[in-house]
Each structure stands twice: as structure tokens, then as C-alpha cells.
Structure 1
């Protein structure tokens, strides 16, 4: 319930924040903005770590695959909106996940005279081929060094889900490769939310 406060109200312009003394080793290059996407145990690495603390809103106007690609390339994470059929949201997840080839791990037979000039080999310590990396992905990694990627170097993407119709949507999104799910609700204190979280 809203309350009326009898004190004088303040605006941000009325406050002066005093930082600590800036050390000589402090520069833009040494600032670390990494942050975990979700809670994790102290001493353990988070399941998903953002390189910059930015996520998108789960809104139809902004939660698109284009923004998801842009945010992931720059260290953040986008949550794709759910105001569309399940198959369309799953297709948007796949568009983000397939933007980069990542490590090519599929077994593939090629003819001896086939050129792999567009690929870079990843070898193990004994010189055996483990993966291929497309040169375009390598160049993209150089251009965007803070990308948020999964274990096989594909961009990470989240998806918003509704608390009333999530049962059909979640399996399709997981199959498409979504990395994180977020309930989107205008009412965070409802029976539907309690049921969805249990």
C-alpha cells in the first residue's frame, strides 16, 4: 500500500556522491564489469556470466533476435519476447544461436581435394583435430572480444515466458538452445507465479 511521507522529498540532483580516492592503476582498461546473470554458490563460477551488466526488457518492441545478437556480441544478454507463437520464439532463439558457427564439432566427411581455407583447426596436445573454427567467427571474436558465448562458442540468448502458458513453451525453447528463461509478469504476487515456480 502506498504511503505519504511527511518529510521533504528529494531528487537525485540534490545529492553529491563522493567516490573513494582513485588509485594510479585505475583506468578504463582495468575496470571489470563482469556480473553473474543469476545467483550461485560462493566460490563457484556462475553458470552464465555477463561481460557487461546489460539485459533487455521482455518487450515486443525490443526483445528481438537482432537485439539479442547485438547485446551478446557486446557482453550482455537479451530476453526474447513471448508475444508470438511458440515456434516463432523458438526460431528466434535458433537465429541467435546460429549467428556464429562456434566450434564445429559435428563429424563430417570431406573429399581429399575439398578446401578448408575458410576454417581454422583446433588441435589437441597430440595434434589431433578437435574442432574447426570459421575464419569469420575468429574475426568476429577479435572485433567483439567480450561476447557472451556458451561452451561451444555460440552467442547466448534468453527468452521470456508467461506464467500462465509456459508448460508448452519451455520445452520448445530448450530444444532450440535457449540459455536462460525469465518469467514475465505484470503481477509478481499471484497464484500463477507461485504455481510456476514450484
Structure 2
């Protein structure tokens, strides 16, 4: 049996990693870390020098960054069917989420808007450019890698779901329809329930 450990906090992107782990169907253990204390402790910094979560350790191999975690787990457990045959679409949209989407949403939330004359310098151009690209893809296919759900939908779908909930992305019909297609997956519900329970324990 493989050993999988998730280092997380329920108020973090660790929710994405937990959803992905649930989708694999593999057993895993969870270590909950707290901001500013156990995340910065020497033992954890030896695993992830950034002192942040999530981190997944699989049989001694350390994987950080949500896009990498989702991609790695899809590849490590092919029986889960989360790595599609169309690898080009998979990699394109996985890293579109990790690059332009992440940058545009974070910068906008922090109040930083790239001046129009400097948008060529920023890899994402503008938030509107990113939103348009996402909408265009969802008009082409029901899921980001094509006709079936994959790990990229865990990662990029989580970003869209978060954006709709907290207003960091515009509320577009294409985003609502897409989120409705994936939000009720059993693995997503199990992951949410587990993290919500941790939140209640902290309250």
C-alpha cells in the first residue's frame, strides 16, 4: 500500500489538494498545520521550505503547488481516470490556471491593475482577457480537457468555484453552468465536508 500524507489547513488551497486526493480513491492521512506556527516549524520547513500548504508526500516524494499536486496524482493513479487522453488540452489549461488565472485574480484582488500600455509585459494581459479565454474554452467543451472530467477540473474548477463564491471572478453564465456540473461530485462533497468539519473544530 502506498503512503500518502496531506499537509493542509482548511482555510487554504489545501482544499483543492484534498478534493484531488478524494478523486483518486486512495487512502491518505492528514496533518493540519497552522499559519505562522507549525507551518514555519523546522520539521515542516524541511519538507516544504516555503512554509505553506498544501504539500503532499507520496512514498517519500514531496509534491507542492496545487497544479503540480493534481497533475502528479492523476499520473500516479491512472486507474482513477483523471489524466485524459488529450494531454495537450490537459497541460494547456492546467498551467493556464496556475499562471494567467492565478496571477490575474490575485493582482486584481490586491488592487493592482496592469496599465493598458503595459499589458504586453504581464503574461496574463488583463483579468478580462483571462475571463474571455475561460469562457471561450467552456463554449467548446463541457470540461477543460474535453468531454470528460479530469484533474484539471479539480484545479481550475476550484478556482472558478472560489471566484463565484467570493467575487474574485465575474459571475458569468458559462462559469455557473460549469461549476454546477462539477460541484456535486461525491469526491468534492467528501472533501468539503472534511474541511468544513476542521473549520468547526477551530471555531
TM-score using structure 2 length: 0.23
Structure holding more helix per residue: 2
Structure holding more strand per residue: 1
Mark the structure with the bigger radius of gyration: 1
TM-score using structure 1 length: 0.23
